Amino acid sequence: MRSLKILPAALALSAMPLGATAQQLEGTNQVVDRIVAQERAEVQLLRQYAPLVETYIQYLLPDKEKEAPLPKSGKGRFVGRIWVEDQDYHIVRFNGAYGGYSLTSNYFNFDSWRTSVGKNLWLPAFVYVEQGNVHDPKMTRMAFKPFRAQTRLWGYNLGHAHEEQELSKVLIEAPTAINDLADTGNDYTPIQAEHYWNRQAELNVMDYLERKGLLAPQGEVDKVLETVVNNLEVSNGLDIQPEVRCRILMTSTLESFSMGHTVVLSRGLIDVLPDEASLAAILAHELGHLLLGHHVNTQFGFFDTLHFDEKATFRHFDFARSPEEEQAANRKGIELLGNSPYKEHYDTAQLFLQALKNRAKEIPNLISPDLGNRVPTDWTLASAAPSAESEAKPTARVIAALPLGGRIKVDPWNDQLRMLKSKPVGTVAETEKMPFQITPFLFYLTRDNSPVEGKGSVAAKLPGNTKP
């Protein structure tokens, strides 16, 4: 990859000085024509994809000044700025709105980003929306609630990466010739058969969720979680077999669940966790379910139970635990933390849970799980560190929770997740902490010229031999 040069906004390209020559004007018009032609070709290319789309809307509270909305500026047209890469003139960013501004219109101010996923292939990936000013009295009179929203798109390559294998999947498990080992005692006891069946149900569900784009492929973020799980196991003298695997749910909702020996945390939950100790607390809770042998729906051991309309996925699966199981897992999780190196930093985990509890009424949709359990905000970790105060209080330097998008970067093509690599921010003001909040997207765009099987490409050409 190499870094990208971005042309100025297309609208600004036409703002030539009064003394501009005819040749300069002609060159500008050619650039605009090239951009328009490329965008038309891009729209046609996008019709072959059916990505997953998630939109989360969050109402704002009057805490600080926001920019005033744009005045009316016509209807039916995009008014704003666009950014274009300088090689093939793909539009990589929009910033503005469609039509005239109105508090009651269906058009809002948005900032839309595309990312390069291969040669001549830029795909929509992120959209940030912000509308309204909490200090504008006009909105108060109209009962308009200022809001922010984010839209994420992913799973563009789902149709190419996974062939349909519904009810017709044939697996040959032995790479070498099968030998008759009847005399070596390989029979399964009833308990072993039960364990195997539980594992089969677990793997069937994880495979289904990944094929539908709801579970990220195994990657580097899983390894980070599994390292924390390993620390909890070693410090508690545990040797869990088969080994515990961690997977990431692609959604923004704050939730976690376990099924068999697989622990699943949502991308949104990992995004907002402030530190490793807080992550360890969530994982310890889920390990508690595993160690206590809480039930697995073994019906999913039958492959046909996964043959249903994908739109009903959230209704079909339910990994939520009963209140009694949750309380038991809380107690077990505290025990695991108390024997781990994370017990010295339990206070940050308690602050996170307290911050989530305090904000719960403001973010009801964010904390409403799709598949698993809510984060247990009533969980008191004080018993993991007896000398600490029962109620943790934040200090000026402590960040109790991060904004959404604070840790993980998503590849919209192959759904791979990576940890964000950014420079330290330094001192953060109280108003800049923004726990659980939506913030604008800002990306360091690069051009990916690597050919990838299954990807289309588009590079529009103007008629004739004209060059912009």
Is residue 201 within 8 Å of 301, Cβ to Cβ? yes
Residue 448, sorted as left (phi over 0), alpha (psi -120 to 50) or beta, turns out to be: beta
**What is the pLDDT, as a whole number, of residue 310?**
84
Tokens read off for 206: 């994880």
Q: How many residues does the chain have?
A: 468
**What is the pLDDT, as a whole number, of residue 464?**
42
**What is the pLDDT, as a whole number, of residue 108?**
86
Buried b (16+ CB within 10 A) or exposed e, 20-50: eeeeeeebbeebbbbbeebbebbeebbeebe
**What is the pLDDT, as a whole number, of residue 330?**
93
Contacts of 355 (CB under 8 A, 6+ apart): 394, 400, 401, 435, 436
In the predicted structure, residue 465 carries a pLDDT above the cut 50: no
- pLDDT confidence tier of residue 447, bands split at 50, 70 and 90: confident
Q: Which of 103-112, 125-134, 178-187, 396-405 is the least confident region?
A: 178-187
Cα Rg, the chain, nearest whole Å:
26
The pTM (predicted TM-score) of the whole model is 0.81
Is residue 123 within 8 Å of 156, Cβ to Cβ? yes
Mean model confidence pLDDT for the chain: 80
Cα torsion angle, 123, 10, 108, 147, sign: positive
Write the pLDDT tens digit of every residue in 302-350: 988 988 888 888 888 989 999 999 999 999 999 999 999 998 888 899 9
In the predicted structure, residue 89 carries a pLDDT above the cut 80: yes
Tell me how far CA of residue 10 lies from CA of 80, 93, 297, in angstroms.
Answer: 10, 11, 56
Write the pLDDT tens digit of every residue in 1-57: 344 444 444 443 333 343 445 555 457 888 889 999 999 999 898 888 999 999 999
Average pLDDT over residues 127-134: 85
Buried b (16+ CB within 10 A) or exposed e, 378-411: ebebbebbeebeeebebeeeebbbbbbbbbbebb
Cα torsion angle, 345, 346, 349, 354, sign: negative
The residue with tokens 């339990």 is: 346
Omega before residue 242 within 30° of 0, cis: yes
Contacts of 218 (CB under 8 A, 6+ apart): 247
Write the pLDDT tens digit of every residue in 45-88: 888 899 999 999 998 765 444 344 445 544 568 889 999 998 88
**What is the pLDDT, as a whole number, of residue 390?**
42
Between 385 and 298, the more confident residue is 298
Q: How many CA atoms lie within 13 A of 150 on its CB side?
A: 18
Pairing of strands 91-98, 2-3: unpaired
- pLDDT confidence tier of residue 106, bands split at 50, 70 and 90: low
Residue 127 DSSP SS3: strand
Is residue 368 within 8 Å of 251, Cβ to Cβ? no
In the predicted structure, residue 292 carries a pLDDT above the cut 80: yes
Q: Which of 82-86, 131-135, 158-162, 412-416 is the least confident region?
A: 158-162
In the predicted structure, residue 163 carries a pLDDT above the cut 50: no
Write the pLDDT tens digit of every residue in 196-231: 889 999 999 999 999 999 999 999 999 999 999 999
Is residue 33 within 8 Å of 462, Cβ to Cβ? yes
**Separation of alpha carbons 66 and 250, rounded Å:** 30
**What is the pLDDT, as a whole number, of residue 8?**
42
- pLDDT confidence tier of residue 133, bands split at 50, 70 and 90: confident
